[in-house]
Amino acid sequence: MLKSSSNRAYLVPMVLSAACWGLATVMSKGVLGYIPPMTLLVIQLSISLIFLWGMVAIHRLRLPFNRRTLRLGLLGVLNPGLAYTFSLLGLTLTTASMSTLLWAAEPILILGLAWAILREHVTPPLVALSGVALTGVFLVAGVEVRTGLNSSLPGNLLTLAGVGCCALYTVLTRREAESFAPLPVVALQQTCAWVWALIIWPIEWSSGDAVSLAAIGSNVWIWAAASGVTYYGLAFWFYITALQKTSASLAGLFLNLIPIFGVGGAYLFLNERLTAVQWAGAGMILAAVVSIVRLGNPATRAAR
């Protein structure tokens, strides 16, 4: 059972995870101009693993090796492994606007999966506020309705596959990780994702897009390392910490904060300016999240 709805211990780590994903997306965007996607994935996960296992050693944390922990670790292949792979492939075949639109459906997918798999009671207020937040995401991302679904069916389907992997990861991790310390769980999952990244890395070599690691400048290495620790290490650590303290349905709603931190980071570091419509969308997202927090946790997990 979840703790009392008045317990908001999930709040800070959930917001921090959204901040890490949003800001690291801005960092990754800059680095992708110098390093191809799969190579960057391997580099980011490698740096993240050094950080995570180093923290596990410092805190002397242990994770029992059994069938349950192995199953939990393999969820890392689902996300960021498969999810990142599908989303990158999809992005090469569809528009950025359509990709953003499809990813905005993740919280809704989490709601449905949490109801179907975890038997979480999804209340009307949560559904309504999720709709408000979803509309805000569309406005912040600048997605236009006329973009349509005809940009590329294969690209859209690949992107949706990535979205589905992330949503399923949230629900399954919520069910499996309740009794484990978050840090070693993240380290184990990232290790499995790293193995997956190494397996698919040769695909990039065969396409002729690979670059020599020795040719990458020191400044780019610094940003790649920072984005790896932030996007994969800290973000997932905070996310699983929060996920253990609240329902998957509520955690999904907080993912709508990611575009706010993303466009905020682009505003500060890339000198990109928000339009009035984007500001309105950001306000809608914040209002929805604050309303959920003030209501407590309207999505409680049913007793088993």
Q: How far apart are CA 10 and CA 243, in angstroms?
A: 7
Asked whether 36 and 204 are in contact (CB, 8 A), the reply is: yes
Q: How far apart are CA 270 and CA 135, in angstroms?
A: 25
Q: What is the pLDDT of residue 96?
A: 55
Secondary element (H or E) of residue 31: helix 11-31
Q: Say if residue 154 is preceded by a cis peptide, omega within 30 of 0.
A: no
Q: What is the pLDDT of residue 300?
A: 44
Model pTM score: 0.79
Q: How far apart are CA 300 and CA 195, in angstroms?
A: 36
Q: How far apart are CA 186 and CA 52, in angstroms?
A: 8
In the chain, domain spans? 13-301
What are the tokens at 7?
Answer: 């317990």
Q: How far apart are CA 258 and CA 236, in angstroms?
A: 13
Q: How far apart are CA 194 and CA 43, in angstroms?
A: 9
Q: How far apart are CA 280 and CA 141, in angstroms?
A: 11
Q: What is the pLDDT of residue 56?
A: 94
Q: What is the pLDDT of residue 191?
A: 96
Q: What is the pLDDT of residues 78-90, one digit of tens each?
A: 998 998 788 877 7
| The pairing of beta strand 120-121 with beta strand 300-301 | antiparallel
DSSP string, 181-221: -HHHHHHHHHHHHHHHHHHHHHHHHHHT----GGGS-HHHH
Secondary element (H or E) of residue 300: strand 300-301
- State the Cα angle at 212 between 224 and 155, rounded to 5°: 65
Low-confidence ranges of the chain (pLDDT < 70): 1-7, 91-92, 94-102, 104, 140-151, 209, 266-267, 269-274, 292-304
3-state secondary structure of 121: strand
Secondary element (H or E) of residue 301: strand 300-301
Q: What is the pLDDT of residue 273?
A: 65
Q: Using the structure block, give the residue that is written with the tokens 């179907």.
A: 116
Q: What is the pLDDT of residue 91?
A: 67
